[in-house]
């Protein structure tokens, strides 16, 4: 049964995401362009001069907000019938809240940027337009898009979102540090354990250097659970899907490494910045972090910096993150709004230039095949690794109740990683809470 999207419905779930991971809605991290809205400025309404006005609400501030504004300006200059007005609405969570409130008040935008894990919640409430007819009319196909980024685009056979600013977690490596120890970049959990422990420096009972780190985030445990061949939800989506030991295995691995200094698990507050700064300053040799920080790290580090796939256990696997764009069902300017979306998806001055500027993943096959992208990858092979890893992309946390379940998963992570609670007992409690939420 479809739900009515009300203020009360989302306000409760959004409380759970303020410290949540990329898998649902990440806390803001300064040099991560995936979730780095630093500016709260709202563009002034454009003087449309009789043109059809399209309102586009997005979550990108700071440098990426500038790139977004530049893309909008290029579109507006490309024709004389439509004027897109871009408005920065805050973080992913804040944007979702504002869109939800505007939908209820029937004052919503024409096009909205939605963090991909929220798309199902809106789709389930029938407030997103099916873009399949628009896609067909424009001579486009869903096959034109990067397959690994389509996990949150289609619900009930309706195409309700298309990828835009998307990223994945990846392994970032201080190769200089590894080379000094004669160590190879780890490809498996066992190798990660050995390399990370070999990098540890402990003097007078104090760790001067740790092996690796990762932000406090649901993203990375989910990646590891899937690498152990587990699923976040079971196939029937009635409970969690990693009760056959994959969750215990994941957290035991992390806790064992934490106990030796091989893993530094940062405080929850500002964890992304902490980890990034430790990496750039040489206090860790490796980190699990978003592909979205590659550009910033390349501009900052003073050592040989490379990226690699997340190490595998049984298989390679990694979740995706970032946001999609949706055409709102209550838009009064759907044709014009679609024209902006179509241009963004297909015109080299649209999404391709945005991807080249920002460092997000190319979301169409034509982008991947473009000479501009090939030239960039030749110059910056670290970004090519990020795209290649998409062949192992998974979306195991798809469920309309994900945002609430994520709150409980964060509690479990905190209990295990910070409070040293029993892993089995904690995950059993999480399983029961998940089942309670799903049955609502």
Domain ranges in the chain? Answer: 7-167+321-369, 169-319+397-438
The share of the chain scoring above pLDDT 90, in percent, equals: 77
Whether the per-residue pLDDT at 178 is higher than 90: the answer is yes
Can you give the pLDDT at residue 40?
A: 39
Cα distances from 47 to residues 55, 78, 79, in angstroms, run 13, 16, 15
For residues 184 and 178, the answer to whether their CB atoms sit within 8 Å is: yes
Among 174, 169, 171, smallest CA distance to 284 is for: 174
User: For the packed helices 246-260 and 402-417, what is the interaxial angle rounded to 10 degrees?
Assistant: 40
Q: Is the dihedral of CA 215, 216, 217, 221 positive or negative?
A: positive
Kindly report which listed range (13-22, 28-37, 358-367) carries the lowest average pLDDT score.
28-37
Local confidence band at 187 (pLDDT 50, 70, 90 cut-offs):
very high
State residue 44's pLDDT score: 42
Of 38 and 6, the structure prediction assigns the larger pLDDT to 6
The residues, ordered by sequence, that sit 6+ positions from 203 with a Cβ below 8 Å of its Cβ are none
Q: Provide CATH code, domain 169-319+397-438.
A: 3.40.190.10
Contact in structure between 245 and 320 (CB atoms under 8 Å): no
Residue 359: the pLDDT is 84
Single pTM value for the model: 0.85
The owner of tokens 């550009």 is 295
53 φ, ψ (degrees, to nearest 5): -95, 130
> What tokens does 370 get?
């473009």
Q: Which residues of 384-403 are buried (b: 16+ CB within 10 A; e: fewer)?
A: bbbbebbebbbbbbbbbbbb
370, 372, 368: which is closest to 388 by C-alpha? Answer: 368
Beta-carbon neighbour count of residue 140 at 10 Å? 17
CA distance 31 to 8: 33
For residue 14, pLDDT beyond 50: no
pLDDT at 7: 44
CB 28 within 8 A of CB 65: no
Give the Cα separation of 195 and 283 in Å (integer).
15
What pLDDT shows up at residue 2? 55
Half-sphere exposure of 329 (CA within 13 A, CB side): 16
Q: Compute the distance between CA of residue 189 and CA of residue 416 in angstroms, rounded to an integer.
A: 19
Domain 7-167+321-369 has CATH 3.40.190.10: yes
Asked whether residue 428 carries a pLDDT value surpassing 70, the answer given is: yes
- Residue 3 pLDDT class (50, 70, 90 cuts): low
pLDDT tens string 311-357: 999 999 999 999 999 999 999 999 999 999 999 999 999 999 999 98
- For residue 15, pLDDT beyond 80: no
- Rounded to the nearest 10 degrees, the angle between the axes of helix 246-260 and helix 423-438 is 140
The answer to whether the 7-167+321-369 and 169-319+397-438 domains have the same CATH topology is yes
* φ, ψ for residue 211, nearest 5 deg: -75, -55
Strand partners, 52: 82
Contact 127, 406 (CB under 8 A): no
In this prediction, residue 6 carries a pLDDT of 47
The pLDDT tens digits for 95-114 are 999 999 999 999 999 999 99
Measure CA of the first residue to CA of the last residue in the chain; give whole Å. Answer: 13
pLDDT beyond 80 at 17 = no
Neighbouring CB atoms inside 10 A of 432's CB total 13
Alpha helices for 146-280 (secondary structure H)? 175-180, 189-199, 219-227, 246-260, 271-280
Please say if the pLDDT value at position 197 is more than 50.
yes
Range in 21-25, 228-232, 274-278 with the lowest mean pLDDT: 21-25
């Amino acid at each position: 049964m479809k739900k009515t999207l009300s203020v009360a419905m989302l306000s409760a779930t959004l409380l759970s995401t303020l410290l949540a991971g990329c898998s649902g809605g990440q806390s803001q991290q300064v040099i991560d362009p995936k979730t780095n809205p630093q500016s709260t400025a709202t563009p002034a309404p454009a003087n449309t001069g009789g043109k059809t006005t399209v309102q586009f609400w997005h979550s990108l501030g700071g440098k990426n907000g500038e790139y977004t504004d530049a893309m909008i300006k290029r579109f507006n200059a490309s024709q004389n019938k439509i004027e897109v007005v871009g408005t920065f609405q805050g973080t992913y969570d804040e944007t979702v809240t504002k869109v939800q409130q505007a939908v209820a008040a029937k004052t919503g935008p024409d096009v909205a940027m939605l963090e991909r894990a929220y798309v199902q919640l809106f789709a389930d409430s029938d407030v997103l337009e099916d873009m399949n007819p628009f896609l067909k009319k424009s001579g486009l196909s869903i096959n034109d898009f990067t397959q690994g980024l389509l996990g949150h685009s289609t619900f009930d056979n309706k195409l309700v979102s298309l990828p835009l600013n998307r990223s994945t977690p990846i392994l970032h490596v201080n190769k200089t540090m590894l080379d000094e120890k004669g160590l190879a970049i780890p490809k498996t959990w066992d190798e990660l354990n050995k390399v990370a422990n070999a990098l540890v420096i402990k003097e007078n009972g104090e760790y001067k250097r740790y092996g690796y780190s990762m932000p406090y985030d649901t993203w990375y445990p989910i990646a590891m659970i899937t690498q152990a061949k587990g699923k976040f939800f079971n196939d029937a989506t009635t409970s969690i899907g990693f009760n056959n030991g994959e969750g215990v295995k994941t957290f035991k691995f992390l806790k064992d490494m934490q106990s030796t200094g091989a893993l530094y698990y940062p405080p929850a507050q500002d964890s992304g910045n902490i980890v990034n700064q430790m990496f750039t300053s040489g206090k860790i040799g490796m980190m699990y972090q978003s592909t979205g920080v590659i550009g910033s790290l390349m501009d900052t580090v003073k050592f040989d910096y490379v990226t690699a796939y997340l190490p595998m256990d049984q298989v390679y696997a990694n979740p995706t993150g970032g946001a999609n764009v949706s055409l709102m069902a209550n838009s009064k300017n759907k044709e014009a709004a679609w024209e902006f979306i179509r241009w963004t998806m297909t015109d080299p001055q649209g999404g391709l230039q945005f991807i080249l500027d920002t460092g997000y993943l190319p979301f169409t096959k034509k982008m991947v095949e473009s000479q501009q992208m090939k030239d960039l990858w030749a110059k910056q092979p670290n970004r090519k690794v990020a795209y290649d890893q998409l062949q192992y992309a998974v979306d195991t946390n798809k469920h309309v109740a994900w945002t609430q379940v994520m709150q409980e998963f964060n509690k479990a992570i905190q209990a295990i990683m910070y409070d040293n609670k029993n892993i089995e007992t904690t995950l059993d409690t999480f399983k029961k809470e998940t089942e309670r939420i799903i049955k609502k």
